[in-house]
């Protein structure tokens, strides 16, 4: 709407209404019916959008309307324009979760659930939506509240990564496990949360015959073995699968093999360092081999 510039008989002064000036002969402005109706309709449109009934003589309805729902539009999810946002839009997009939903069947998560807490139950598979349907930063908080295994995976053409790991993967959530997944643009989703503790460097491991297990405290448990030729004195050295960061606290060993009676085996461990140790082994067995198995603890 605007002043009635196109109606010359209104007598605007510099584009605005005037009371006129009898001394100079300037006529006062007059309101045309069309302009008065247009202004009234504009105001009534706001009042009616708020669900109010226009009432003659009640001059506070415009203010009431501006304070009610229905006047302002909540923008589409992920809108990043400079249009003023309603509190509903802000609640959905920032700070708190926008809601909660329970899921007990396998499905592709819709974009509309981004920002919600998803409490999943049962042995089901949840597939993330295509990245083209959400904006960067869209996230899902998924909790396994049941007793089955909940599998979370990316959809076709998208990849799901753990933080600090460049290999695409899916995640298996056991009962009580949690995971937060966010879209970071392109075709990539990143995950973090309790379910990824096993993938953390603090829990690094090598599960093999010669391996190790790290713990968040810094403690490292390592193990391994070596075959020894009998009826001889054998000297050798063992290199730990991973060096201790500080020191090795303790090494224990045992022998493994099946021999006749009256067989003697003698093993001495020496030169213990953070990277390994030396050994000297001998036996009076006439044939075969035996193995020395060891376990080391340090930090």
Domain boundaries, the chain: 8-66, 100-199, 203-298
CA distance 240 to 288: 26
Whether the per-residue pLDDT at 94 is higher than 60: the answer is yes
Decide if domain 203-298 falls under CATH 2.60.40.3940: yes
pLDDT classification of 60: cutoffs 50, 70, 90? very high
Cα(110)–Cα(183) distance, integer angstroms: 13
Reported as a single tens digit per residue, the pLDDT across 117-135 is 999 999 999 999 999 999 9
> Which pTM does this prediction carry?
0.54
Higher pLDDT, 133 or 264: 133
**Strand ranges (DSSP E) for the chain?**
100-103, 107-108, 117-120, 124-127, 139-144, 150-153, 159-162, 171-173, 178-185, 188-192, 205-206, 211-214, 220-228, 233-239, 248-256, 265-270, 276-283, 290-298
The predicted-structure confidence for 177-215, as pLDDT tens digits, reads as follows 999 999 999 999 999 988 878 777 888 999 999 999 999
Task: Report the pLDDT value the prediction gives residue 236, as an integer from 0 to 100.
Answer: 86
What is the band of 274 on the pLDDT scale with cuts at 50, 70, 90? very high
b/e per residue 214-250 (b: at least 16 CB within 10 A) = beeeeebebbbbbebebeeebeeebebbeebeeebee
Which residues lie below 8 Å from residue 287, measured CB to CB, with a gap of 6+?
A: 230, 231
Q: Is the Cβ–Cβ distance between 225 and 256 less than 8 Å?
A: yes
The CATH topology of domain 100-199 is: Jelly Rolls (2.60.120)
Tell me the C-alpha distance between 261 and 160, whole Å.
58
Alpha helices in the chain (DSSP H): 33-49, 61-66, 87-93
Per-residue pLDDT for 10 more than 90? no
Bridge partner residues of 141 (DSSP)? 117, 180
């Amino acid at each position: 709407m605007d002043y009635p510039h196109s109606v010359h008989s209104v007598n605007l002064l510099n584009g605005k209404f005037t009371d006129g000036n009898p001394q100079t002969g300037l006529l006062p402005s007059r309101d045309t019916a069309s302009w008065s109706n247009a202004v009234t309709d504009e105001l009534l449109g706001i009042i009616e959008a708020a669900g109010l009934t226009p009432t003659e003589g009640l001059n506070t309805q415009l203010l009431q309307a501006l304070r009610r729902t229905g006047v302002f539009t909540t923008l589409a999810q992920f809108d990043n324009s400079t249009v003023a946002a309603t509190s509903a839009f802000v609640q959905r997009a920032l700070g708190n979760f926008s809601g909660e939903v329970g899921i007990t069947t396998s499905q592709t998560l819709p974009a509309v659930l981004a920002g919600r807490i998803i409490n999943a139950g049962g042995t089901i598979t949840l597939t993330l939506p295509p990245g083209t349907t959400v904006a960067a930063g869209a996230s899902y908080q998924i909790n396994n509240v049941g007793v089955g295994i909940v599998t979370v995976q990316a959809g076709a053409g998208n990849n799901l990564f753990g933080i600090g790991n460049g290999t695409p993967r899916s995640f298996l959530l056991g009962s009580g496990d949690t995971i937060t997944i966010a879209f970071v643009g392109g075709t990539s989703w990143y995950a973090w949360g309790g379910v990824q503790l096993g993938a953390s460097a603090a829990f690094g491991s090598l599960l093999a015959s010669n391996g190790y297990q790290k713990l968040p405290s810094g403690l490292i448990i390592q193990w391994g073995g070596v075959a020894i030729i009998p009826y001889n004195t054998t000297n050798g050295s063992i290199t730990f699968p991973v060096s201790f960061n500080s020191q090795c606290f303790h090494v224990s060993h045992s022998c493994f093999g099946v021999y006749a009676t009256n067989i003697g085996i003698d093993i001495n461990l020496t030169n213990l360092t953070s990277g390994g140790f030396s050994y000297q082994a001998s036996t009076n067995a006439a044939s075969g081999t035996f193995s020395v198995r060891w376990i080391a603890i340090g930090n």
